[in-house]
Amino acid sequence: MTIHDDTIYEDVPPSQDSPGLDPALGDGDHGHDPYATTDADREDGARVFNASGGDWGDLVDEATALHEERIVVNMGPQHPSTHGVLRLILELDGETVTEARAGIGYLHTGIEKNMEFRTWVQGVTFCTRMDYLTPMFQEVTYCLGIERLLGIEDQIPERASIIRVLMMELTRINSHLVCLGTGGMELGATTVMTVGFRERERILRIFESVTGLRMNNAYIRPGGVAQDLPHGCLDQVVSTVAELRKGLHELELLLNENPILKGRTENVGHLDLAGCMALGITGPILRSTGLPHDLRKSEPYCGYETYDFEVITRTGADAYDRIRIRIDEMYESLKIVEQCVERLKKVQGPVMVEDKKIAWPAQLSVGSDGQGNSLDHIREIMGTSMESLIHHFKLVTEGFRVPAGQAYVPVESPKGELGCHIVSDGGTRPYRAHFRDPSFNNLQAVAALSEGGQVADVIVAVASIDPVMGGVDR
């Protein structure tokens, strides 16, 4: 086998001077190849063959003779731009996508089924792991459903509701930063990713100081939150907000009027209002059509009706508009965070409902391994009251009972409507906990966004949806 200047591999007739063994020679002469041996010489009895390739011109002629240029390509599930383990089945006519389908199910966490075998409070530690970029939102919708079944919605302390809003809006910024950062990286703009992840780190430091964990926090519990904000946290939030404003402005300078970005995203991944309504699409994709649908305004929860913020919309209905919407939404979230800080300075009090048959002890502490029981609280209940110790033990091991019924309370996550359908049979565990995750619904738009465009535009379309497969494969 020889290599010519045009890098075409050709067969060479076997000779005494050509190394290796041609299959036609069988056990014959092997030339001067020191690595080639006879079948008898090899311990495993295997035969030795030369690898030979055909001429690319012959292959092209053979493919053209079929008069069919359409091919089916698997993109994923192990692909860096599919946001986890999403499989895209693309039918291509040259560089044009003629058909696109999304294949899901490769993460198979079984979170919803596992929640049926845990107490109501333990379920928080499961659902927070679904969409790992928006843990606080899953915790909130799950807890709001439980609180509705318990009939304690009006008993949630005001301070707890404000803390919930604070944590959710910081999580919204966190999710949008990852969306823009990874989307920029997939388009080749590494600087966008480094800036986005740098700003995200500031938010994760707040989460770690409050909950002991950067992700999968299990901080929001039925009846309130696990514990109050630590000393100095509000000052940390204020300084972080100022730093985030500078970082977001830097992202704007990189993205908003970047001619390369606009060339890659304008009129790409177009989906109008009728298409969104037909497919049940929510979030920035829907708002890019001009419809100001936001559950924080239309179906307020956690006191959102008392906060001052705007619902960001645009009318281009393409990938570029979705980028701009997410940037502007982060500024609106910063406004809400600042309002939360001012309220928390004035509103003091408990962060968990008073009913001791429901409330887990909120006297937790943050240690080196995350958040756990406060040693002072344990010493108190063990040393002063045997009844408190027994009650604590039963509440943690058995859990509380939730009246039979069902509830659905949606929230506005960074990706769209996120809701939890809770069903109780009157026991200490959920009979069923089913989540309407926006990534799952929004993935239906893959075909509409991709078909008719180029292969490279599929990357842009998927990035503009911002799916997280942890929320899809539950």
- pLDDT truncated to tens, each residue of the chain (474 aa)? 433 444 333 444 444 444 444 444 444 444 455 555 555 555 555 565 555 555 656 655 665 666 666 788 888 777 666 677 888 888 888 888 888 888 888 888 889 999 999 999 999 999 999 988 999 999 999 999 999 999 999 999 999 999 999 999 999 999 999 999 998 888 888 899 999 999 999 999 999 999 888 888 889 999 999 888 988 899 999 999 999 999 999 999 999 988 998 999 999 989 999 999 999 999 999 999 999 999 999 999 999 999 999 999 999 899 999 999 999 999 999 999 999 999 999 999 888 898 888 887 656 666 655 556 666 666 766 676 677 777 778 888 888 899 999 999 999 999 999 999 999 999 999 999 999 999 999 999 999 999 888 888 999 999 999 898 888 888
What is the model's pLDDT at position 26?
44
Enter the tokens of residue 361.
């002890």
281 vs 289: CA distance, rounded Å: 11
Q: In 414-462, which ranges are E strands?
A: 416-424, 432-436
112, 422 Cβ separation under 8 angstroms: no
Q: Helix H segments across 292-415? A: 295-298, 319-346, 375-384, 386-397
What is the model's pLDDT at position 374?
64
- 416 in the Ramachandran plot: left (φ > 0), alpha (ψ -120 to 50) or beta? left
At 424, the amino acid letter reads S
Side-chain half-sphere of 456: how many Cα atoms within 13 Å? Answer: 5
Structural domains in the chain?
1-61 (no CATH), 120-472 (1.10.645.10)
What is the model's pLDDT at position 11?
41
* CB atoms closer than 10 angstroms to residue 142: 30
What is the reported pTM? 0.81
At 416, the amino acid letter reads G
Burial of 18 (0-12, 13-18, 19+ CB in 10 A): middle
237 vs 206: CA distance, rounded Å: 7
Going 411 to 412 to 417 to 418, the CA torsion angle's sign is negative
421 vs 434: CA distance, rounded Å: 5
288 vs 93: CA distance, rounded Å: 29
Backbone angles phi, psi at 208, to 5 degrees: -70, -40
115, 94 Cβ separation under 8 angstroms: no
315, 290 Cβ separation under 8 angstroms: yes
